[in-house]
Amino acid sequence: MKKELDAKESDVALTALAAARIEWIPIKPLMSHVLELAVRLDHPAYDCTYLAAAMHIGVPMVTANGRFVRRCRRSDAKDLAPFVRLLGEPLDISPH
């Protein structure tokens, strides 16, 4: 069942969102990389857009899409694995 936020919960969520450090990334310059990823992974460009953005800024993306994560971790795509995490998966925060 989908839960909707009440007015108080909406205010809390809006305050948290406003305080978040959100960096807007222009996607147009990444479109050729998005297409390359989509073809390489045989996966929709929608998810690959987030992956390309994560790679561009050097951070992992988090997704609940297990199929997408598995595709990024295939033996022929191991270079993508550091940039994708499955929601709920523990993060490696050890110093390198």
Give domain status of residue 9, yes or no: no
Give domain status of residue 39, yes or no: yes
> Structural domain of residue 48, as residue ranges?
24-86
Does the predicted TM-score (pTM) go above 0.85? no
Q: How many domains does the chain have?
A: 1
**CB neighbour burial string for 58-94, b if at least 16 within 10 angstroms, e if fewer:** eebbebebeebbebbeeeeeeebeebbbeeeeeeeee
Give domain status of residue 37, yes or no: yes
CA–CA gap between residue 9 and residue 3 (Å, rounded): 11
Q: pLDDT averaged over consecutive 10-residue blocks of the chain (96 residues)?
A: 80 88 90 98 97 96 96 96 92 61
Give domain status of residue 77, yes or no: yes
CA–CA gap between residue 38 and residue 81 (Å, rounded): 15
Give domain status of residue 73, yes or no: yes
Phi, psi of 80, deg, nearest 5:
-90, -25
